[in-house]
Structure 1
Amino acid sequence: MHLTANQVLARIKNAGTFDTMRTDMLAEFVSSPQGQTFDKTVRALMQRMSEDSDMSRASDKHAYIERRLIEQLKHNGRMERMERDARNHWLSVPQYHKIGDAIERAIAQPRDATEHKVRALHVDPPRMQSRGSRSHNYYRRGDVVAAFVPLENSLCRTGGYICLQLEIDACDAVRNMYTVRDVDCARNGQTKWAVYWDQILAIKRPYEQVYRRGDQVYSVYRDDYGESKVSSEYFPARVDTVGRDSLAVVYDAGGMAHVHYDEVFAAGRVGFMRQMSETRKRSGREDAVVEVGGRFVP
């Protein structure tokens, strides 16, 4: 299930968490040094306006005070500094986590076991804006991507495929295919593959992906307690803990690691895992072709 930003905000408001959070944050700001400075500044301006002769002649004194306050505060250097301090206060780590907790509570809802089990594989992720007449993500040469390629003797299989961190080497716009190459010199064997657009994902580009405990993902392997190099292969895993800068994942093959957000992606975001391209399904083509001796063969 995919929720829009407006739906999340509506749930926060309906649950009352938004108003509670806003009241708490305002109370914290008022009691802070910046808030006390703001209160003193406003009181001084109010005293000055009460002594102004224009105040007594104003027909709508409330509107007059509001207008003069806005004018005074807008051109007040101290207020500009306080606005910056207030913004930093509200974006501090405790407030950041408070906002995140409110959003998590708004998104969470009861669901049956079946929906919970398959939710991660059926989410429709936000797609990058297509360029030109293309109906899918456009990749440039040199882009780092996660690509599902056919490879034998792999520990990580998805219908005969493994997922590797590769680099775009060339594009075949007519066939909607890309040539990807392995830049990891430590790996032996095949180094290039030709794959269709729905077999690759630009993992290094930012996405508005929200993870929750239990989500099915693909993640690189990282040894939290060793000095081994981070793998360039993505392994099936599930999210165990969601942090601000990293995720704790448990691999299907066993073991746990902490990985950064650009080292993991939701399983349902890869198009060919949900369904094959209708064009390729009708034509009966292979999912990918392999480079052998400088030429591509099925």
Structure 2
Amino acid sequence: MSKEAVKWAMDDAPMPRTEKGKPDTTGRHVLQVLAEHAQSDGSNSHPSVLRIQYRTGYDRTTVQRAERRLEKAGLIKQDGTVDGRKRWQLAMYLVRPKTDWTDLEREENEFRAAAAERKRRSRSKGVTGAESVTVTDSKGVTVTDAESVTGDVTDFAPSRHALNAQPSRTQRRPNHQQPSVNQLHKDSSSPAAQEDASDPAPATKTASKPAAANPATDHHLEAFGAFWLTYPKKKAREEAKKAWIAAIDRGAKPQHIVTAAQGYAKERAGEDPKYTKYPATWLNKGCYDDEPDPAGHPHLRAVGDYQPWTNPEDHSGYFEGL
């Protein structure tokens, strides 16, 4: 193996081209194998086609076509045979032009610049300037145009960021999450009173809330999630919803129902679940107003078959039944 010939084939030799003008990578690979078997001046290279196949992984036809393309490009020249194998002379005097490297550098720089421009455009599209900000909280402030605010803004509650605003009363909470204690107390009041208290002044109200199909029903169901999570038996959810609405319409307080359900869950802990009332039955019968059962004491129960007491002195019936 000649280091000079291998270096020439890998770095200095002109890049062979296909008929379409693209780099002939197959031909260059075959040229490197020929250089590995050549002398330092590029002469006496005669590896067999089978050896080139083994070295490159190409089939026989691909190797032969690559040799013909290299010979046509003037990179190799046949000057005889050795044991039936073609002997090649490498044209090591041919040198690759320096513009090949500069062209690659220019293409690389253009590619990086285009990639940076695409990234910049993508970021600029992702950032959109919002011209209006709407605070969904009932006690918040609605601004219709951020650039047109010139006067003072009066709020009914301490200012809060729009992202920290809690969902409005008429909006459903995701996954029926349990509301806070303050929300339970709010739900105990009438819907009309809450609507009047949470409604901003007409002068500052510029955006209306989304209309609900049945505000009274949505109001009653605000705290139903807390009851459902607390109740020990979760059966017939839709029937339980109807019973919940009916109970509140009769004057029951949501906080009172939830507290009673917690007490009932403690009473049923460790008991047979088949004797636990269905949620709708418990609500329809007004069990939330029942007095809690006093703490019971363990009952003494007979273990095994009960046998009456017999006189130990009388052995007449001792062995009966054995």
For the superposition of Structure 1 and Structure 2, which TM-score range results when normalised by the shorter chain?
under 0.3
Higher relative contact order (CA 8 A, sep 6+): 1
Provide the TM-score with structure 2 as the length reference: 0.17
Provide the TM-score with structure 1 as the length reference: 0.18
